[in-house]
């Protein structure tokens, strides 16, 4: 069975500092990996994905993530945080399993960027 772990319930960072939101996963076979962001009272918005190719993927709003197969990780990063980045972030993984591409989402990490 596939699984995703987001070990931090909350990440606090000062505006202008780099941020990292951690994600590790477990699947059989090659994973598809995703990051989503959820602002208060809104649905989930797509940030970026890794399907194949370069391990470093760039996405919306200046975010990027690095696929590390040996560590089974897909951490979300941004060089300089903004207060407006404060939101709930979800990592997700999917992989073919009997023909199912159902994604599994992590519990979410609340990112708080302080002015």
| 102 binding another protein? (CB under 8 A) | yes
Is residue 55 packed enough to be buried (19+ CB in 10 Å), middle (13-18) or exposed (0-12)? exposed
The residue (of 17 and 100) whose beta carbon lies closer to another protein is 100
Alpha helices in the chain (DSSP H): none
| 74 binding another protein? (CB under 8 A) | no
Q: In which region does residue 99 sit, left (phi positive, over 0), alpha (psi from -120 to 50) or beta (all else)?
A: left
Count CB atoms within 10 A of the CB of residue 31.
22
- Binding mask 9-48 toward another protein (x if CB under 8 A, else -) reads -----------------------x-x-x-----xxxxx--
**What residue ranges bind another protein (CB under 8 A)?**
32, 34, 36, 42-46, 49, 51, 90, 92, 94, 96, 99-108
């Amino acid at each position: 069975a596939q699984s995703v772990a987001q070990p931090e319930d909350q990440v606090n960072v000062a505006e202008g500092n780099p941020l990292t939101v951690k994600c590790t996963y477990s699947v059989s076979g090659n994973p598809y990996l995703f990051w989503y962001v959820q602002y208060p009272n809104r649905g989930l918005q797509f940030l970026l994905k890794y399907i194949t190719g370069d391990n470093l993927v760039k996405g919306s709003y200046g975010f990027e993530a690095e696929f590390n197969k040996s560590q089974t990780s897909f951490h979300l990063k941004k060089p300089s945080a903004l207060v407006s980045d404060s939101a709930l972030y979800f990592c997700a993984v999917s992989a073919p399993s009997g023909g199912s591409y159902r994604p599994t989402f992590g519990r979410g990490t609340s990112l708080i960027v302080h002015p």
